[in-house]
Amino acid sequence: MAATKYTETMFDQAELTALRAKFNYVDTDIKGRHRLFMDNAGGSLRLKAAEEAFKRVSEMPDASEHSNELALELLALEDKARADIKHVIFGAESGVIYPGYTASQIIMDTARIFGDHAKGTNYVTTVLEHPSSFDAMTYNAQKHGCQLRVAQANPVTGGVDADAVLSLIDKDTAVLSCMAASNISGYVYDVETICKKAREINPDIFIICDAVQHAPHGVLDPERLGVDMMHFAPYKFFGVRGFALAWLSDRVAEFDHYRLLGKPKNDWEIGSPATAQFAAVQQVIEYVVALGQVKNQDETNRRGLYAAGMKRIADHERGLLELMLEGTEKMPGLRHMEGVTVQMDGKDLTTRDLILGIELANIPSEVAVKEYDKRGVVAYDRSAGSIYSRRMLEAFGLKGVVRLSPLHVNSVEDIEEFLQITADMVEAAK
């Protein structure tokens, strides 16, 4: 493999081998069969330490809201995780954490609450948003008699340009919902520019940022960006399903919301805490912090180490993305493979997370994913027939793509194996 500006910053073989051992089912499935899992955007490979912590804590009957010895230990575990989620993952000093069952539930809830408090005549969002965001914005715009303005996609970059979003914002824009990265193209939005200029146009605007797709690949920084809500889902970030976490700015934290009336106005936790879920997220944090520590032995700030760890993840994944697109000494990349079309193919890899959408000649996407599965590759069919994909695909004039989403523990050999399987599939379909 020839080194480039992207591949030269990937993990070396020894470290990658050690990292792979920290995850379940990296190269085999639960039945022991060899497999390449390239559907991490639908729910990532699981960190063993997160699953083990979840199991250990969930087996304990003790309640963290009680006063016995083990209950107090569970409370301490929760409080540490809450602090690390706020200060380390979100990098915030102010604001509050809002835990929920799913990320979709959280974004729909906050969109409703923001809409009830916002003043203006229009809402702005983008055509690539997840349905939980787009539909919530549509519903609340209609509820409040506001116009819904939708920024359209750039077919060259595979994303939505900052100018396309900002051109729709005016002094009467009540709510803006703009994701951090697309879950269909991997395009990373210029959220910093969008938020900064949106607030210059209307300082009172409420800003929602869906970071569910981006969290496993990049640093989150809602306080600095000036958003009012940003969230992620641990099941896409090496963790466990059935949990989601949002950061809310102080500006919105005391808005009316369901809570026990005896608790503070900015308390967004309802019912008994999910201690095991907090324990699992804590292990994800420790994993990323440890990655940052490898190259920063003298650093003690956990947020700084976390950011360094996420940069190392992003660097390795950008190298994998380049290899998938351009190829290796053994295999041509998807951009150069006869019978393969890379869709939404932004050329600047620094603006992309590790997600690809491809079309194979003579193989519809829904058939292609089944053929991949037969050959030990798990991918996902993003079809115009799905409510989760239709709007986004139509924005690019597509009927369907095979979505590929490897993870930072994938190797060069994994990519070469995938490329060989793809070439064989295309040849067989001629």
Please list the residues that pair with 230 across neighbouring strands.
209, 247
Do residues 281 and 85 lie in contact, with contact meaning Cβ atoms separated by under 8 Å?
yes
Residue type (1 letter), 223: E
d(CA 275, CA 261): 22
Give the pLDDT of residue 4. 77
Predicted local confidence at residue 2, as pLDDT: 57
pLDDT single digits (tens) 400-422: 999 999 999 999 999 999 999 99
Q: What is the pLDDT of residue 1?
A: 57
Looking at 280-406, which runs of residues are DSSP E strands? Answer: 340-343, 356-360, 377-378, 380-383, 400-404
Per the structure block, which two tokens stand in for 429? 């379909």
Cβ burial of 353 (10 Å; 0-12, 13-18, 19+) is: buried
Residues whose CB falls within 8 Å of the CB of residue 234, separated by 6 or more in sequence, listed in order? 50, 240, 241, 243, 244, 245, 277, 280, 281, 284
CA 296 to chain centre: 25
Amino acid symbol at 68: N
Long-range contacts of 17-22 (CB under 8 A, 24+ apart): 19/291, 19/408, 19/409, 20/409, 20/411, 22/47, 22/48, 22/49, 22/287, 22/409
Q: How far apart are CA 71 and CA 49, in angstroms?
A: 22
Amino acid (1-letter code) at residue 313: I
| Backbone Cα Rg of the chain | 22
> What is the per-residue pLDDT across 192-249, written as a single tens digit (0 to 9) for each?
999 999 999 999 999 999 999 999 999 999 999 999 999 999 999 999 999 999 999 9
SS3 content of the chain, % helix, strand, coil (to 5): 45, 15, 40
Give the neighbor-by-neighbor strand order of the sheet with 244-248. 96-100, 244-248, 229-232, 206-210, 173-177, 122-126, 147-151
pLDDT tens track, the chain, 430 positions:
555 778 889 999 999 999 999 999 999 999 999 999 999 999 999 999 999 999 999 999 999 999 999 999 999 999 999 999 999 999 999 999 999 999 999 999 999 999 999 999 999 999 999 999 999 999 999 999 999 999 999 999 999 999 999 999 999 999 999 999 999 999 999 999 999 999 999 999 999 999 999 999 999 999 999 999 999 999 999 999 999 999 999 999 999 999 999 999 999 999 999 999 999 999 999 999 999 999 988 889 999 999 999 999 999 999 999 999 999 999 999 999 999 999 999 999 999 999 999 999 999 999 999 999 999 999 999 998 898 899 999 999 999 999 999 999 999 999 999 999 999 999 999 8
CA distance 76 to 78: 5
Integer CA distances (angstroms), 416 to 16, 333, 357, 411, in order: 16, 9, 18, 9
Dihedral sign, CA of 232, 174, 268, 229?
positive
Q: What is the pLDDT of residue 16?
A: 98
Q: Where are the alpha helices (DSSP H) in 59-202?
A: 69-84, 103-117, 131-143, 162-166, 191-201
Domains in the chain with CATH codes:
7-46+304-428 (3.90.1150.10), 52-284 (3.40.640.10)
Q: DSSP string spanning 409-422? A: T--HHHHHHHHHHH
Handedness of CA 269, 270, 273, 274 (dihedral sign): negative
Could you tell me if residue 91 is left (phi over 0), alpha (psi between -120 and 50 degrees) or otherwise beta? left
pTM summary value: 0.96
